[in-house]
Amino acid sequence: MIRDFLKKPILILGCGNILFGDDGFGPAVIEHLETYYSLPETVLALDLGTGIKEFLFDLILAPVKPEHIFILDAISQSDRKAGELFEIQLERFRDGKGGDRLFHQFPSLDQLQQLGSLTGVAIRVLAVQTKEVPDTVRPGLSPEVQEAVPPACDWLIKEISAAIK
């Protein structure tokens, strides 16, 4: 895996814990992509589970960086409907306030901003509004979040196609 990610200009990173309900959205999207889509040779999709912080730290230090990174995660915001897909605008949080509270097990915004601004990597984050992330182990996405998986894949394929051109 490490050698592959150093060779691919486009990375798709699914993050989240499949044992805690809707938090497993990122891994579910990666699984759906691998099952139903044929990704171009220039793209690598990885289910990072809860290890995205460590992965991004390694990537910051790596001698070769990808051109584009797409991150998939589940978050909870009070003004959104369960299963709603939306892109997180990292620029909104340049002042360092408020951003980290939005994310469950998401990488720190500082880490993402460093990777983007210091290395020129284009970072896009697609999130889904959770219905529930339980406090105890309970695998499986809610129906609302499960329904968002195919549209998330469609969004990725469209954005990857645009990035390749």
What CATH number is attached to the domain comprising 32? 3.40.50.1450
Closest C-alpha to 104, from 77, 69, 123: 77
In sequence order, what are the beta bridge partners of 70? 12, 124
pLDDT (tens digit per residue) in 137-158: 999 999 999 999 999 999 999 9
Looking at residue 54, its pLDDT comes to 85
Residue 112: phi and psi, rounded to 5, are -65, -40
Domain residues for the domain of 68 are 2-164
Cα(120)–Cα(132) distance, rounded to whole angstroms? Answer: 35
pLDDT at 66: 92
- For 48-65, what is each residue's pLDDT tens digit? 998 888 888 888 888 888
Residue 18 has pLDDT above 60, yes or no: yes
**pLDDT of residue 116 exceeding 60:** yes
Lowest mean pLDDT among 93-97, 111-115, 117-121: 93-97
- CA-nearest of 154, 157, 134, 132 to 144 is 132
> What share of the chain in percent tops pLDDT 70?
80
Rounded to two decimals, the pTM is: 0.87
Sorted by sequence, the CB contacts under 8 Å of residue 71 that are 6+ apart come out as: 13, 15, 26, 52, 107, 112, 123, 124, 125, 126
Q: What is the pLDDT of residues 33-48, one digit of tens each?
A: 999 999 999 999 999 9
Q: Count how many domains the chain has.
A: 1
pLDDT at 17: 93
